[in-house]
Amino acid sequence: MTAQTATGPRVLLRRMRELMALPISAQARLDRLVTMIAANMVAEVCSIYLARTDKTLELFSTEGLNKDAVHRTTLKPGEGLVGEIARTAQPLNLADAPTHPNFAYKPETGEDPFHSLMGVPILRAGLTIGVLVVQNRTQRHYDEEEVEALQIIATVLAEHVASGAVLERGALADVDTQNRNPVRFTGLPLADGIAMGYVVLHDPRVEIDRMIADDIDLERQRLDGAIKSIREWIDTMLESGEIGAAGEHRDVLEAYRMFANDRGWVRRLSEAVDSGLTAEAAVERVQNETRARMMRQTDHYLRERLHDLDDLANRLLRELTGRDRLGAVETLPDDAIVCARGMGPAELLDYDRKKLRGLILEEGSPTSHVAIVARALGIPMVGRLEEFIGVLNQGDAIIADGDSGEIYIRPPPEVISSYAEKARFRARKQAQYAAIREEPAITKDGVRLQLNLNAGLLVDLPQLDQAGGEGIGLFRTELQFMVSATMPSLSVQTALYQRVLEAAGQRPVLFRTLDLGGDKALPYLAQEREENPAIGWRAIRIGLDRPALLRYQVRALLAAAVGRPLSLMFPMVTEVSEFEAARGLVDREIERRKRLGQDMPEQVRVGVMLEVPALALQLEALCAQADFISVGSNDLMQFFFASDRGNTRLATRYDSLSPALLRLLHGIVGSCAAKNVPVSLCGEMAGRPLEAMALAALGFRSLSLPPAGLGPVKLMIRSLDAARLKAHLLPLLDSPLHSLRAELKAFAERESVAI
């Protein structure tokens, strides 16, 4: 918006400031405000709808419609044009509103004569708390400057609504925050460990005292100074010893620095200041619009980046207002468990790690930036908890189980006692696991199993030594791509793979090529929306359709493994012909490297992930070409049972210890053994002692599992007689039972197997 077109909003903003200072009732203030807006916008109608706690929109004030409709007219979310604006959090600009398919006629309002309509959402923290509407009799399309002006007014109005300046106390239903009853939640475990402590509500929001600027030039200077200060702070963090070390926690701060230097973001802030807002109000407005837009994204990666942008905006507001940064040592209690809707990685780093015991988020995922940093710092973390924050009070006792995902708020004494014992038991178990860390995984009857670890990030690698893993049986290379804001360069990929191989030393590493697609979308890789993404364009299908992407990765792997063995495998292979094509790309990269006279890996082994049941019926042909096979139990089970593993209704419907699935796995082991092709299994099955016990009886001699499962599985193996279990289990594989879990538990109890 130019200085000239911004003049109108500035005048209205000054008048709004004067109006808010008048000693009149809240309703009178709201009524004068709609009259003022209508006059300024040359509109015959101006109406304000506000959202109640049940999300219905109520007409709170109007100029031009029937006054009797105030506090009588309500709209449900998505109902009518006002409901549509609230639902989408986007402006609506219509020359003939009654012809719109979402138009809902409310006879009590008397809006029959009015054709044109422009409405904008009233946003706060990215949530729609109301809708501001203007209307005219004539059919006209409001221009961009008018839409922009109404959005600026809505930004200021949102703060006044939140502060109570335009509503009597109690006009909107209060949210009950005094609940003192015990509550239990189950979320997604994101970082291992048990945390017992007290709730610290992470509320980085800074209340803004001044919305309307007195001096535009001064506000520009304040904004520029605050942005400069934030950039300097990020640079300092990246140069510090603890965080400056290479790894994903550094990579996420690099991405954070990229946001802080984004020209588009800075330009939008400057334009908001030019419209007449203070620097603080400009930050609030831009982030409200960004949050409203990104909250409605279906792209999981983009939604995760919202926390980084929230973090940046909140930090900028604290810089502008001079407030202390969050999490100062003197304000954080001992045994603090920080609870938030969402959080960026830099916000977590503000807290004193000596006092911080755990982190709980309503949102979050294993690959979110804050989860990566939490794991790097050893902080137990749980996420994906709907409507969690609303039942918390500052200082509540709380327990967070980063192993199971369970959360207990205001736990009763028996739960506290149980978890205290669980924490002590966990410590004793850890001591047991540590005692056998260097011991081999050999059964009582002399069967040797190799236990490898699953990994995908540099922060996982120290656990190879800590847990006593014999190698890395699955390194998920796509996670590096998912935490990066841009496509990792060849040198960046090579450096990562070199560090993985160096950390493993002489131990084997199996690299899985990119398993993108499905729920692993990248912002820089164009993908169409799919009805069934898990069985859609993903993994090797993308690699074969975009061979340059796969060859680029293979090139980096070959460069990283110079002088030592390299093992790589392709995911989601469905036909032997796909494996042949993928291996052909590897061969071309090997020939290219030789042609250029570059040093080579000592050996290159090319294998395949067996995740699609169809491939299990092609094992004879596959074994003739593949150097090794790794069964991916998570996807194999999903496809075998036609059961979406992300569907909570189906999460426990089918069992991994189903006789049918175990029979399939037994057949795979037998076919590979007949062709003398090594076979291993990676996935959740391998990390659970009872399931791992069954796998040992089926003939698997190599398992790849999460670090937390290695100790319990090794302890089980060392207490197992594999031959006795095999004799007991194999006759049961033709059973019509839903699961053999009970039978296996009974065997373990009789034979004193540590499960």
Which residues are catalytic, by number?
369, 682
Q: How far is the CA of 657 from the CAs of 227, 664, 742, in angstroms?
A: 56, 11, 10
Render the burial of 273-309: b for 16+ CB within 10 Å, e for the rest: bbbbbbbbbbbbbbbbbbbbebeeeeeebebbbbbbb
Q: How far apart are CA 359 and CA 666, in angstroms?
A: 41
Which H or E run includes 690?
A: helix 689-698
Dihedral-angle region of residue 241 (phi above 0 means left; psi in -120 to 50 means alpha; beta otherwise): alpha
How open is the CA angle 326-376-383, to the nearest 5 degrees? 70
Strand-pair partners of 233: none
Q: How far apart are CA 415 and CA 408, in angstroms?
A: 8
Q: How far apart are CA 382 and CA 248, in angstroms?
A: 19
Q: How far apart are CA 555 and CA 669, in angstroms?
A: 32
657 three-class SS: coil
Which tokens hold the place of 13?
Answer: 């903003």
Token pair 């089926």: residue? 698
The one-character DSSP state at 110 is -
Q: How far apart are CA 645 and CA 611, in angstroms?
A: 14
Task: Give me the helix-helix angle, 279-295 and 263-274, nearest 10°.
Answer: 130
131: closest CA among 111, 146, 153?
153
Which tokens hold the place of 606?
Answer: 């090319």
Sign, CA torsion 438/441/442/444: positive
Q: How far apart are CA 713 and CA 709, in angstroms?
A: 6
How open is the CA angle 486-488-490, to the nearest 5 degrees? 145
248: closest CA among 482, 473, 518, 557?
482
Q: How far apart are CA 475 and CA 208, in angstroms?
A: 47
Q: How far apart are CA 208 and CA 157, in angstroms?
A: 12
Report CA 496 to chain centroid distance, whole Å: 23
**Backbone dihedral angles phi then psi of residue 741, each to the nearest 5 degrees:** -60, -50
Report CA 558 to chain centroid distance, whole Å: 32
Residues recorded for the chain? 755
Other Cβ atoms within 10 Å of 267 Cβ, number = 11
Token pair 């407005």: residue? 285
Residues 6+ apart with CB under 8 A from 337: 195, 197, 198, 199, 200, 356, 357, 358, 359, 360, 398, 400
Report CA 557 to chain centroid distance, whole Å: 28
Q: How far apart are CA 2 and CA 9, in angstroms?
A: 12
Cβ burial of 524 (10 Å; 0-12, 13-18, 19+) is exposed
46: closest CA among 107, 121, 132?
132
Strand-pair partners of 453: 472, 705
161: closest CA among 49, 244, 36?
49
Cβ–Cβ < 8 Å for 637, 686: no
Cβ–Cβ < 8 Å for 364, 383: yes
The one-character DSSP state at 353 is T
